[in-house]
Structure 1
Amino acid sequence: MVFSSLLFLFLFLPAVLLLYFVSPWRIKNLVLFATSLVFYAWGEPIYIAIMLLSTIADYSFGLLLSNPKRSSTQRKGIVVASIIINLTLLGYFKYADFLIQNVNSLFGMQIPLTELALPIGISFYTFQSMSYIIDVYRGTAKAQRNWLDFGTFVALFPQLVAGPIVQYSTIAEQLRHRVVNVELFAEGVRRFIIGLAKKVLLANNIGLLWNTVSSTGTESLPVLTAWIGIIAFAFQIYFDFSGYSDMAIGLGMMFGFRFNENFNRPYTAQSITDFWRRWHISLSTWFRDYLYIPLGGNRNGPWKQLRNIMIVWLLTGIWHGASWNFLLWGLYFGVVLVFEKWFVLKLMQRMPAWIRHVYALLLILIGWVFFAFEDLSIMGAYLAAMFGVNHQPLWNNESLYLLYTNAILLVLLVIASLPKRQHETGFGPAIQLGWHALLFFMSVAYLVDATFNPFLYFRF
């Protein structure tokens, strides 16, 4: 089940909200936990066991860590055991077949693939669960003694499928003490509708353009068509993922939770360093807090900082999927960030803002090519087409047709990617209510007749 479906909008969500608000406070977390399991089980009921195993294990490890009589060595052993269990589960389901394929290819073996489906949201709830254990070990959070509250934290359906990755310390207090008032609920509904419209009206429609271009052979792909295609992909993945994050944050508000923001207008960035402060903020923050800083960050000289950056970005790449293109994508951004920290940022401070912005967008778009194509040969051919390496034409009639027929949509996407202006929030309540009602109606109308409703981050 996904948020952008009629089943969720008109059956699951209304039923959960009704049940939640008629229930007394003492069982509200039970309602959330039970309905979250139903949400998770809708597509893959067998994988509930995996999530519950991870939940029970980390709940138990948290209690063991809370014992003040534990020695430092014992406490470290508990954390290591938790990390091993979580990463083993994640590694087996997400990376086993990737490893088997490469072993078979390298050594001429025929080890059979597991062919297991990836459990929905495992990359997100695994990181959340590990953050809890590390926070308890560090003393920045107290061990949760109520199993139901901890289970609610792990399984909470608004952010289960696609984040944002919620660190335990962020909502520890909210699990026991939260208040839903009319203002917060209304803001949650507004945020959810904005996210739904971004996903359904913007991401889905520009995704059709990307599908058209990416399904065209790269041998004779004109330069303009290649650039139109990757720009379309950049918009699709942004409005797809940020739309889901908005919906998750909005749903959290409806139930009294406040999740951290996950996007901050990333295509307005003026460097790749700036971009990664704005894109998938919860993932960047997780790797910074639980890997980069513990490795030493930038405290032990430039070479160790280089090592730390590359470790983080190789793992960031492979976190997104079990394929070489994701590893290359992480390596690409790791190298760019190293050059920025050592050379480029100082140089670019002297340049006009528009040059810095063009520089960032160019590197971001090249990065999306690594991300979009799992087949490395097609990836290379697409990059070659973008820069006319094989003497492709600059454009043809199809290029101009694609540009002409999608011009209005592209302009709307650019506007929606820009920072909010003051006048956007200056309308009265009645006009804002009418605007959001119109967005919801248009989104539902699209879904009623939709044959194209992908979710790019669903596989991560």
Structure 2
Amino acid sequence: MLFNSYPFIFVFLPITVLVYFMLNRLRYGLAAKCWLALSSLFFYSWWNISYLPLLLGSIAFNYAVGRLLQARQAHSLDQTASRRGAKGILIAGISGNVLLLIYYKYADFFIVNIGAATGWEVPLLNLVLPLGISFFTFTQIAYLVDAYKGKAREYNLINYVLFVTFYPHLIAGPILHHGEMMPQFDRVRGKLWDWGNAANGIFIFCIGLFKKVVIADTLAVYANTGFDTASGFVDSWVAALSYTFQLYFDFSGYTDMAIGAALLFNIRLPQNFNSPYKAVNIQDFWRRWHMTLSRFLRDYIYIPLGGNRRGEAIMLRNLVLTFLIGGLWHGAGWTFLFWGLLHGVGQVIQRLWGKLGITMPRVLAWAITFVFITVTWVFFRAESWADAMRLMKGMSGLSGIHLNLDTALLEPVAIMILIAPIVFFCRNSSELSVSFRPNFRQAVVCAVLFVISLMYITRISEFLYFNF
């Protein structure tokens, strides 16, 4: 089920909210959690019920591993032996999650490349990527690591199911920690209807809906056409910039709708998107873009690799490795790996530049960062290496520079000129949420955004991050 669909907006969301608070009002707290967990499983099954057993199996496996970790640490008198045993359990748990991800996400990629290298003809598995598998897998890996460190304990199966499946974050994040999620469901005040949170949630949800169905889906037409056919200088840059802004509004739109829907339940999801195109360097960009993924990569990959504790050269190596893994997480393809490599190398160059002690004007730093991000998105979006090279040749002028603007390109250029100030200068949704106060003006803005969005919602499309 999609956030940007009539069934979700007019049926599923209001019914789940209404029943949840009715059960809590009647003091059926456990029943309310069960209702929300079952509703989330129904939400997931709406896409393809055949993958529900996969999700439930993943939950059962990780819950059992988490309980083993907790039991090992709680009942062992020999702390050294306990630590070794717990570490073995953790490695087994993480391995199980990674193998599941490799099978569904990377099996065909490996088969193709092994076949190309060896000449073997192995039939592809042609597996359909289960929706949200990267997100619920990473969420549970984080839980296992936190359980191993003693930072997370969950003895109630219903609580754990709700933690993993809570539908505002299930499909495309944010990637959550158990400690920042479950205490909110147990707060007494959180079980009571809150008009302030509801108004704020609806406001943020409407902003996200508008971003997705009006702006992102409009730009998608030009981005798709450009990546299929563009080869000249102007049309290649229009295609790249169209996708750059499409991805921005698509992903931030999803994030807004997830945060807004969760607020209706008095649940505050962590910020996941903080005006990334305002960044003045690559490190700043990754502090703003998909913030919970950046946190995961830092805490569970970069730091375990050694972080910056073993000297400058090892630290730079760890940066590149972390971003290579981040690129591969986004998709099974050499273009995704190269995209990750570019961002890793960008981080290294920034670090080395910082050691020179040379500063540049802030506007120039922002411009270089934005152009770098736009160029790297080409590899992120391209269906093949050949498509990426065609766009890169066009953008670099190697295919010739013809500045006459085709009339078909005037519309996307005009749209991007209109939305650029929103991206670069306006307050983002998180900032608007903090300063939000229910009043007539806000209600009018919300209503206008919602009505306009409904006019576009007939062209229903999935969010881009559903593919990752």
TM bucket (normalised to shorter chain) is over 0.9
Equivalent residues of 2:200, 2:436 under 8 A apart: no
Q: Residue deviations 1:141-177, cap 9 Å, x none?
A: 2x20100000001111111111111122211312322
Listed as ranges, the matches of 1:160-309 within 5 Å are: 160-177=170-187, 178-179=190-191, 180-218=193-231, 221=232, 223-309=233-319
For 1:325, the equivalent position in structure 2 comes to 335
Secondary structure at the counterpart of residue 206 of structure 1: helix
Secondary structure at the counterpart of residue 229 of structure 2: coil
For 2:7, the equivalent position in structure 1 comes to 7
Residue type of the alignment partner of 1:458? F
Secondary structure at the counterpart of residue 457 of structure 2: helix
Q: Using the alignment, how far apart are the partners of 1:369 and 1:207 within structure 2?
A: 14
TM-score, length of structure 1 as denominator length:
0.94
Q: Residue deviations 1:52-100, cap 9 Å, x none?
A: 1111111111211122234111100110111011111111111111111
Question: Is 1:358 the equivalent of 2:358?
Answer: no
Residues 209 and 135 from structure 1, CA distance in 2 versus in 1: closer, same or farther, beyond 3 angstroms? same
Q: Using the alignment, how far apart are the partners of 1:121 and 1:454 within structure 2?
A: 12
How far 1:407 sits from its partner (Å)? 4.3
* From 392, 417, 420, the counterpart of 1:411: 417
Question: What is the percentage of aligned positions where both structures have the same residue?
Answer: 38
* Larger mean Cα displacement after TM superposition, 281-290 or 58-67: 58-67
For 1:133, the equivalent position in structure 2 comes to 144
For 2:159, the equivalent position in structure 1 comes to 149
For 1:455, the equivalent position in structure 2 comes to 463
Residue type of the alignment partner of 2:158? L
Equivalent residues of 1:298, 1:305 under 8 A apart: yes
Q: Using the alignment, how far apart are the partners of 1:60 and 1:27 within structure 2?
A: 23
Equivalent residues of 1:314, 1:331 under 8 A apart: yes
For 2:79, the equivalent position in structure 1 comes to none
Question: Is 1:394 the equivalent of 2:402?
Answer: yes
Residues 261 and 433 from structure 1, CA distance in 2 versus in 1: closer, same or farther, beyond 3 angstroms? same
Equivalent residues of 1:323, 1:374 under 8 A apart: no
Q: Using the alignment, how far apart are the partners of 1:175 and 1:290 within structure 2?
A: 26
Secondary structure at the counterpart of residue 75 of structure 2: coil
Runs of 4+ with deviation above 4 angstroms: 346-349, 421-428
Equivalent residues of 1:348, 1:356 under 8 A apart: no
Equivalent residues of 1:132, 1:169 under 8 A apart: no
Question: Is 1:17 the equivalent of 2:17?
Answer: yes
Q: Using the alignment, how far apart are the partners of 1:271 and 1:426 within structure 2?
A: 30
Equivalent residues of 2:40, 2:166 under 8 A apart: yes
Q: Using the alignment, how far apart are the partners of 2:170 and 2:351 within structure 1?
A: 34
Residue type of the alignment partner of 2:467? R
How far 1:49 sits from its partner (Å)? 1.1
Structure 1 unaligned blocks of 5 or more: none
Q: Using the alignment, how far apart are the partners of 2:418 and 2:88 within structure 1?
A: 53
Residues 146 and 117 from structure 1, CA distance in 2 versus in 1: closer, same or farther, beyond 3 angstroms? same
Equivalent residues of 1:318, 1:330 under 8 A apart: yes
Q: Residue deviations 1:352-389, cap 9 Å, x none?
A: 11110111011111110110113101211210110111
Question: Is 1:371 the equivalent of 2:384?
Answer: no
> For the aligned residues, what is the CA RMSD?
1.9
Residue type of the alignment partner of 1:49? P
How far 1:347 sits from its partner (Å)? 5.4
For 1:109, the equivalent position in structure 2 comes to 120
| Matched residue count | 450
Question: Is 1:98 the equivalent of 2:109?
Answer: yes
Residues 144 and 332 from structure 1, CA distance in 2 versus in 1: closer, same or farther, beyond 3 angstroms? same
Residues 292 and 421 from structure 1, CA distance in 2 versus in 1: closer, same or farther, beyond 3 angstroms? closer
Q: Using the alignment, how far apart are the partners of 1:187 and 1:427 within structure 2?
A: 8
Residue type of the alignment partner of 2:209? L
TM-score, length of structure 2 as denominator length:
0.92
How far 1:418 sits from its partner (Å)? 2.8
How far 1:44 sits from its partner (Å)? 1.3
Q: Using the alignment, how far apart are the partners of 2:452 and 2:14 within structure 1?
A: 19
For 2:41, the equivalent position in structure 1 comes to 37
Q: Using the alignment, how far apart are the partners of 2:65 and 2:349 within structure 1?
A: 40
Residue type of the alignment partner of 2:7? L
* From 451, 456, 459, the counterpart of 1:446: 456
Residue type of the alignment partner of 2:373? I
Q: Residue deviations 1:242-278, cap 9 Å, x none?
A: 1101111111111121111111101111111111111
Q: Using the alignment, how far apart are the partners of 1:95 and 1:58 within structure 2?
A: 21
Q: Using the alignment, how far apart are the partners of 1:373 and 1:420 within structure 2?
A: 30
Residues 428 and 76 from structure 1, CA distance in 2 versus in 1: closer, same or farther, beyond 3 angstroms? closer
Equivalent residues of 2:159, 2:182 under 8 A apart: no
Equivalent residues of 2:135, 2:172 under 8 A apart: yes
How far 1:420 sits from its partner (Å)? 3.6
Q: Residue deviations 1:429-454, cap 9 Å, x none?
A: 11110111110011111113x2x634
Q: Using the alignment, how far apart are the partners of 1:349 and 1:211 within structure 2?
A: 40
Q: Residue deviations 1:94-143, cap 9 Å, x none?
A: 111111111111111121211111110000000101111111111222x2
Secondary structure at the counterpart of residue 183 of structure 2: coil
Q: Residue deviations 1:408-444, cap 9 Å, x none?
A: 4213321221344599869981111011111001111
How far 1:336 sits from its partner (Å)? 0.8
Q: Using the alignment, how far apart are the partners of 1:241 and 1:349 within structure 2?
A: 34
Residue type of the alignment partner of 1:94? K
Residues 353 and 167 from structure 1, CA distance in 2 versus in 1: closer, same or farther, beyond 3 angstroms? same
Residues 239 and 348 from structure 1, CA distance in 2 versus in 1: closer, same or farther, beyond 3 angstroms? farther
Q: Using the alignment, how far apart are the partners of 1:428 and 1:43 within structure 2?
A: 35
Secondary structure at the counterpart of residue 280 of structure 2: coil
Residue type of the alignment partner of 2:37? F
How far 1:346 sits from its partner (Å)? 5.0
Listed as ranges, the matches of 1:31-70 within 5 Å are: 31-67=35-71, 68-70=74-76
Residues 3 and 106 from structure 1, CA distance in 2 versus in 1: closer, same or farther, beyond 3 angstroms? same
Question: Is 1:385 the equivalent of 2:391?
Answer: no
